[in-house]
């Protein structure tokens, strides 16, 4: 127990200093490290494995919707960025610029993609001729760069990994349907793979993507009650098709501009997982994306048969498709318990001479720390079922926490008290930018999404008639 205490003390207190807890956890579990250039991160194998699992799950869902993967160039001519007025205004201050290459000064500076609407739009313009070519729905998994002043691993770094989907449609309706479809894909993915409840909805004009007609977001509640924008989908109308001349000959013989969308999630999701589920002992990883789903710790491993039994169990579980690790290192069982708890492995299996005698193994859930026994004969079914159960119950627990922490407010004071108490605040808003800005000033909170139903009477700031009910929160 002394060891345990010592160990836990290495991670800052999750309630008293959440930012430091986060930094301690991401570094000590070797998810990530700081890169040599300010604001960059190195995603270490344990962190990258989470990203690979996210990719695999999301990619399969994208394909089901008829989305194809492709790869577009990293460097975008600066003149492309300026073709869509709002877009350049939003992104120009954050771009990294290549001015020299191959030992020479470039005729036109190139920017490293902060997002690829412009360059993909220019290719779509070339590829799309007829309504028969539509819809086009492509996605790329790639790196992007946005030069940020304040950075934190996974949450905000100058370079990050993401996927960006881009589609073109013949009609506004179809494009809007795709925008909402992808929002649903993200929401279901968050629930089923990350055990993470989210609020989805339309963003305000102030919070929308630079160049979009409408942006929809999914917001997740972090341990400290702040919101994290975990994914967005954008209905771009004809803004980019007009800037990049994406036109098609329609079935009626007329030439029309297409309607485009884009949608993306990034390595930020890893930060969302950490801050949704983590506890004082460290990470609590959702089973579907955990790099290691079950770890076997041998007890009294020098006793006859223990090592062999652990190895055989590992083989059996691996064959079932469970990502299992046998920790047969020289460290003590207690040390291993701490280590794998900190690393958030969903299930720990303890196997020693007494368990073998009884034909059982002891399993300990990371999320609830509950222990139970499973018959060795039924190890595959038992562990598979337990992992599924953990995924569902982690979601339910997080959803219950979130529900409790969404509070209503009729007045500015109530709103402030709400966010000060670590809550999302549901409140009426007249719809004007001035009131939105005031919320930011007095409560450091922003409009995360518009609620689907407007059940508020008056604006929480000015008291005029409420045009929308808004979820306000402080945000990452």
For residues 241 and 209, give the distance between their C-alpha atoms in angstroms, rounded to a whole number: 16
Is 126 near its own copies (CB under 8 A)? yes
Q: Of 169 and 448, which CB lies nearer to its own copies in the complex structure?
A: 169
Nearest to 410 by CA among 329, 339, 472: 472
Q: Of 65 and 393, which CB lies nearer to its own copies in the complex structure?
A: 65
Give the chain's end-to-end CA distance (angstroms, integer). Answer: 36
Is 283 near its own copies (CB under 8 A)? no
Is 158 near its own copies (CB under 8 A)? yes
Query: Residues 11, 50, 88, 123: which binds its own copies (CB under 8 A)?
Result: 123
For residues 312 and 320, give the distance between their C-alpha atoms in angstroms, rounded to a whole number: 13
Nearest to 137 by CA among 169, 173, 89: 169
Q: Are 59 and 140 in contact (CB under 8 A)?
A: no
Is 201 near its own copies (CB under 8 A)? no
Is 36 near its own copies (CB under 8 A)? yes
Give the 3-state secondary structure of residue 451: coil
Minimum CB distance to its own copies, residue 146 (Å): 9
Of 74-82, 195-203, 304-312, 377-385, which segment contacts its own copies by CB under 8 A? 74-82
Nearest to 263 by CA among 321, 331, 200, 196: 200
Q: Are 139 and 60 in contact (CB under 8 A)?
A: no
Q: Are 159 and 42 in contact (CB under 8 A)?
A: no
Query: Residues 26, 119, 230, 470: which binds its own copies (CB under 8 A)?
Result: 119
Query: Residues 11, 14, 26, 43: which binds its own copies (CB under 8 A)?
Result: 43
Query: Residues 27, 142, 318, 406: which binds its own copies (CB under 8 A)?
Result: 142
Query: Residues 25, 88, 95, 356: which binds its own copies (CB under 8 A)?
Result: 95
Cross-strand pairs, 249:
130, 255
Is 135 near its own copies (CB under 8 A)? no
Nearest to 337 by CA among 379, 296, 286, 390: 296
* C-alpha dihedral sign at 289, 180, 123, 80: negative
Is 162 near its own copies (CB under 8 A)? no
Is 110 near its own copies (CB under 8 A)? yes
Q: Which residues bind its own copies (CB under 8 A)?
A: 33, 35-37, 40-45, 48-49, 51-52, 68-77, 80, 92-103, 109-110, 112, 119, 122-123, 126-127, 138, 142-143, 145, 147-149, 158-159, 161
């Amino acid at each position: 127990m002394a060891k345990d205490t010592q160990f836990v003390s290495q991670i800052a207190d999750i309630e008293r200093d959440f930012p430091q807890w986060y930094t301690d956890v991401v570094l000590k579990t070797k998810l990530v490290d700081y890169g040599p250039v300010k604001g960059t991160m190195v995603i270490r194998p344990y962190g990258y494995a989470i990203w690979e699992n996210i990719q695999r799950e999301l990619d399969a869902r994208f394909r089901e919707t008829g989305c194809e993967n492709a790869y577009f160039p990293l460097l975008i001519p600066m003149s492309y960025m300026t073709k869509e007025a709002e877009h350049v205004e939003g992104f120009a201050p954050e771009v990294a610029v290549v001015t020299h290459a191959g030992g020479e000064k470039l005729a036109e500076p190139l920017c490293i993609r902060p997002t690829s609407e412009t360059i993909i739009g220019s290719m779509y313009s070339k590829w799309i001729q007829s309504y028969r070519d539509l819809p086009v729905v492509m996605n790329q998994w790639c790196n992007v760069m946005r030069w940020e002043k304040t950075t934190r691993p996974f949450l905000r770094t100058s370079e990050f990994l993401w996927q960006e989907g881009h589609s073109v449609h013949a009609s506004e309706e179809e494009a809007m349907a795709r925008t909402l479809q992808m929002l649903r894909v993200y929401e279901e993915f968050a629930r089923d793979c990350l055990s993470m409840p989210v609020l989805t909805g339309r963003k305000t004009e102030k919070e929308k993507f630079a160049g979009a007609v409408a942006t929809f977001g999914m917001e997740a509640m972090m341990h400290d009650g702040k919101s994290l924008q975990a994914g967005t989908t954008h209905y771009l109308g004809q803004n980019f098709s007009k800037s990049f001349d994406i036109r098609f000959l329609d079935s009626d013989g007329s030439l029309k501009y297409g309607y485009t969308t884009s949608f993306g999630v990034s390595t930020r999701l890893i930060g969302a997982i950490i801050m949704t589920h983590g506890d004082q002992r460290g990470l609590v990883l959702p089973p579907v994306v955990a790099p290691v789903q079950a770890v076997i710790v041998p007890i009294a491993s020098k006793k006859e048969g223990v090592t062999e039994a652990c190895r055989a169990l590992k083989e059996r579980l691996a064959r079932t498709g469970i990502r299992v690790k046998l920790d047969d290192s020289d460290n003590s069982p207690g040390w291993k318990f701490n280590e794998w708890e900190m690393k958030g492995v969903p299930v720990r299996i303890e196997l020693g001479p007494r368990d073998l005698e009884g034909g059982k193994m002891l399993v300990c859930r990371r999320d609830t720390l509950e222990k139970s026994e499973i018959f060795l004969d039924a190890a595959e079914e038992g562990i598979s079922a337990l992992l599924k159960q953990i995924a569902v119950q982690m979601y339910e627990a997080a959803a219950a926490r979130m529900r409790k922490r969404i509070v209503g407010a009729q007045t500015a004071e109530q709103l402030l008290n709400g966010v000060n108490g670590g809550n999302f605040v549901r409140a009426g808003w007249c719809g004007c930018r001035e009131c939105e800005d005031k919320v930011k000033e007095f409560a450091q909170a922003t409009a995360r999404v518009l609620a689907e139903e407007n059940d508020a009477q008056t604006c929480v700031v000015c008291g005029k008639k409420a045009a929308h009910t808004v979820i306000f929160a402080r945000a990452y």
